[in-house]
Amino acid sequence: MKLHTKILLSLLAAILFGGMIRLLGAEDFASAWLTPTLGLCAEVFLRLLSMIVIPVVVSSLICGIVGEGKAGTLGRLGIRTVAFYLISSLLAILVGFCFVNIVQPGIGADLSLQQASGESVGEPESWTELLIRIIPSNFVSAMAQGDMIAVIFFTVCFSAFALTVREESRLRIVHFFQAVLDVVMSMTLFIIGLAPYGVFCLVTNLIIETGFAAFAPLAKYFVTVLLALTVHFTLVLPLLMRGLTGLSPVKLFSAMSPALLTAFSTASSNATLPLTMACAERRAGVGKRVSSFVLPLGATVNMDGTALYECVAAIFVAQVLGVELSAVKQFTIIFTALLVSVGAAGIPHAGLVMMVIIFKAVGLPLEATGMIWAVDRFLDMGRTMTNVWSDCVCMAIAAHYESDIDRDILYGKNVEVTLEGKSSL
């Protein structure tokens, strides 16, 4: 049985079980005997998620930056690619930020959640404090405290300077952290495989305590994320492409549609990468030099949909809790979402693992992720397709400026643009 099916079944079981307890009026009995056990199981699951965050982010970032930073690749093409990825992710976050503040899906919800205490490294109270906190005085201490902004800053600096050492040393770094990443990904997949049980415990406890009050704001949250993803996918990215290249976004979408549909169905940008590269060369007319650099790098570090989703989720939970977000705290969410999206793994539900970082950064309770898991699968499919579409748009822009795109193939002018012989894709 697929994971998302298990999660949906566990959600249904939690609704039925929790609803039955409330129907029988056994909330007091459940609170005394059942909820402590469910709470313990949920806490174990959440701590496992927290445990894996730093290894995933550090190894993913180093492999993504150092592994792709081969001699000569960080020239003009590399600078343009990285610049676009940062800009598109920032625009995605701002789109989500605007939608969640306009719709305000969490306002008025009473979900009996309390702000975390002792879990957070403490939200910055001023711009000066935020700037100082970005630079760790002790990297090991920053990891121990879960201060992900400082950890990511050090990791990016380490990766950037690793590109300046001799090739032999760089390859040793890549091979070591790639091995670490392989192990960490195996651990991550195992922990994510426990999600159905975590969802059951979290949602059952939520229903016992609040009834079904959680589902109305969840529906508004779901629609908010979906609308924001749609706007970024259909308006922001196409306008960027049209404005910077004059190429048709519709033609590019048509050419890349097999990869985009695969991304939607698998919810994994990494699993989609071979098909994305095949479509880029055979259907979009992009040269191998550009596609072989831009797309693998994008599958590793460019996560527009994930960045948007993280921002909306954090502000939604803050609204549920009635937490007043100052300008500094809102910037912290935006900045952390941008950094976290770079370190997110291209596997299903990876965004939920990364969400732990943002929640800790601004002092939100990790228990609130139980609500998010309940509606994550379809949103995960949508944000993965957005991630891959952003990679494709960046690839087209880079190919345009590198004069490495065949417009006849892209526009289908007397050229066969199929994937014959590639049925395995």
Tell me the per-residue pLDDT of 355-399, one tens digit each, with 9 for 90 and over. Answer: 777 777 667 777 776 667 667 767 888 888 999 999 999 999 999
**Please, how many CA atoms are within 13 Å of residue 102, restricted to the half-sphere of its CB?**
11
Name the range with the highest mean pLDDT among 69-78, 292-301, 312-321: 312-321
- The Cα–Cα gap between 419 and 226 comes to 31
- The Cα–Cα gap between 390 and 393 comes to 5
Contact 29, 374 (CB under 8 A): no
How confident is the model over 224-254, as pLDDT tens digits? 999 999 999 999 999 999 999 999 999 999 9
Phi and psi angles of residue 265, each rounded to the nearest 5 degrees, phi first: -80, -35
Handedness of CA 205, 209, 211, 217 (dihedral sign): negative
Domain that holds residue 112: 3-410
Q: How far is CA 260 from the centre of its chain?
A: 17
Nearest to 320 by CA among 108, 116, 120, 97: 108
Q: Residue 236: what pLDDT?
A: 95
**Which residue type does 217 have?**
P
Percent of the chain whose predicted confidence (pLDDT) is above 70: 79
Q: Confidence band (pLDDT; 50, 70, 90) for 94?
A: very high
Q: Residue 117: what pLDDT?
A: 38
- Taking CA atoms, 203 is separated from 3, 28, 344, in Å, by 17, 17, 25
Between the two ends of the chain, the Cα-to-Cα distance in Å is 23
Flag whether 419 is in a domain: no
Flag whether 355 is in a domain: yes
In this predicted structure, the answer to whether residue 155 has a pLDDT above a threshold of 50 is: yes
Q: Which residue has the higher pLDDT, 213 or 201?
A: 201
- The Cα–Cα gap between 9 and 360 comes to 29
Phi and psi angles of residue 405, each rounded to the nearest 5 degrees, phi first: -135, 135
Maximum Cα–Cα distance across the chain: 73
Q: Which residues contact 154 (CB under 8 A, 6 or more apart)?
A: 136, 139, 142
Q: Residue 390: what pLDDT?
A: 93
Q: Residue 342: what pLDDT?
A: 64
Q: Confidence band (pLDDT; 50, 70, 90) for 211?
A: low
In this predicted structure, the answer to whether residue 186 has a pLDDT above a threshold of 90 is: no
Q: What stretches of 69-186 adopt beta strand conformation (E)?
A: none
Number of domains in the chain: 1
Flag whether 172 is in a domain: yes
Contact 345, 314 (CB under 8 A): no
In this predicted structure, the answer to whether residue 95 has a pLDDT above a threshold of 90 is: yes
Contact 394, 88 (CB under 8 A): yes
In this predicted structure, the answer to whether residue 271 has a pLDDT above a threshold of 50 is: yes
**Which residue type does 4 have?**
H
Phi and psi angles of residue 286, each rounded to the nearest 5 degrees, phi first: -85, 135
Q: Residue 382: what pLDDT?
A: 87
Q: How would you label 226-242 residue by residue, b for 16+ Cβ within 10 Å and e otherwise?
A: bbbbebbbeebbbebbe
Flag whether 52 is in a domain: yes
Arithmetic mean of pLDDT, 117-123: 42
Flag whether 418 is in a domain: no
In this predicted structure, the answer to whether residue 114 has a pLDDT above a threshold of 60 is: no
Nearest to 39 by CA among 201, 233, 169: 201
Flag whether 422 is in a domain: no
Tokens of 335: 């900045």
Cα Rg of the chain, angstroms: 22
Q: Residue 42: what pLDDT?
A: 80
Q: What share of the chain is helix, strand, coil (3-state, %, to 5)?
A: 75, 0, 25
Tokens of 25: 């009026």
- The Cα–Cα gap between 63 and 104 comes to 38
Which CATH number do you get for residue 281? 1.10.3860
Q: Confidence band (pLDDT; 50, 70, 90) for 259?
A: confident
In this predicted structure, the answer to whether residue 119 has a pLDDT above a threshold of 50 is: no
How confident is the model over 7-55, as pLDDT tens digits? 778 878 888 888 888 888 877 777 777 888 888 888 888 788 778 777 8
Q: Residue 323: what pLDDT?
A: 76
Q: Which residue has the higher pLDDT, 213 or 313?
A: 313
Flag whether 282 is in a domain: yes
Q: Residue 210: what pLDDT?
A: 66
- The Cα–Cα gap between 86 and 407 comes to 27
- Taking CA atoms, 399 is separated from 241, 244, 286, 389, in Å, by 11, 12, 6, 15
Q: Please count the other Cβ atoms lying within 10 Å of the Cβ belonging to residue 408.
A: 12
Contact 110, 210 (CB under 8 A): yes
Three-state secondary structure call for residue 212:
coil
Flag whether 319 is in a domain: yes
**What number of residues does the chain have?**
425
**Which residue type does 46 have?**
L
**Chain mean pLDDT for the chain:** 78
In this predicted structure, the answer to whether residue 351 has a pLDDT above a threshold of 70 is: no
